[in-house]
Amino acid sequence: MRYRSPATLNSTLAGKHVLFMGDSITRYLAEALLRATGRSAAVPRWHMDMTYPLAASNATLDFWWSPYPSNITDSMQRVLNTTARPDLVVASFCAWHLHSVMNISDWSRQLDEVDAGVKILAADGLRPIVVSCPHSVQDRLTTDEWAVIKPLGLRYNEVLMSRTLRSWRLLDLNTMSTNCGDPCSKDREHAFRPVYDAAVQVLLGMSAGPLLGEGER
């Protein structure tokens, strides 16, 4: 993994537009990108759309609150309806469906709809990065709840990862958090800051060509 300093990022991100869409996992990654550019302000923990100027000249970071797969499908259509397309799209949308719908068949069906939308974006020259389902810990779940959520979460992630050979690219945050271990988790599905900081550097490497003007890494 190549580390990119704030000075390097502020130079190469000039004039770029980065769009994060999804749930709180996406928001934590957006906050990590802001830190990577040297900005210290935290992203408020609000369920709403937000826009932040990056430290780089004329660079913008948008966060669109879209926690369910159906919201992601709508957000991708929103991208298609805009005249100024983002240079990078990052999406995470597993946790809310896992904890509220808890239905693998519906999850698979909705992923098919997301995949169809991603293919349209890819045909338009924009190939989004999709974040894997988060590594989960028991936290405040009861033993009975955890006995259901733990294997279901693993299955959700397997189904999601089986689709990454199609039109989108995968940022495997699950493996990064799992390898870090349960002590790296601050609650049921959110990791501590260093995990997201490392994940953003991986994300930037995945996007080196279209976003940073570098060769792909």
Q: Mind listing the pLDDT tens digit for each residue in 129-143?
A: 999 999 999 988 999
Beta bridge partners of 169: 129
For residue 1, being part of any structural domain is answered with no
**112, part of any domain:** yes
What is the extent of the structural domain holding 21?
6-212
The Cβ-side half-sphere exposure at 111, using a 13 Å CA radius, reads: 27
pLDDT of residue 217: 41
Q: What CATH number did the domain enclosing 143 receive?
A: 3.40.50.1110
**46: in domain:** yes
Q: If we measure between CA atoms, which residue out of 48, 64, 56, 28 comes closest to residue 194? A: 28
- Whether residue 58 lies inside any domain: the answer is yes
| pLDDT tier, 214 (very low <50, low <70, confident <90, very high otherwise) | low
Residue 82 placed within a domain: yes
Structural domain includes residue 217 = no
List pLDDT tens digits, range 93-145. Answer: 999 999 999 999 999 999 999 999 888 888 888 889 999 999 999 988 999 99
Q: Is residue 43 part of a domain?
A: yes
15-46 burial string, b = 16+ CB within 10 Å, else e? ebbbbbbbbbbbbbbbbbbbbbbebeeebeee
Q: How many Å separate Cα 4 from the centre of its chain?
A: 19
Is 206 a domain residue? yes
CA neighbor of 79 nearest in space, from 112, 123, 36, 44 = 123
Question: CA 147 to CA 192: how far, in whole Å?
Answer: 24
Confidence of residue 213 (pLDDT cuts 50, 70, 90): low
Average model confidence (pLDDT) across the chain: 89
Domain count of the fold of the chain: 1
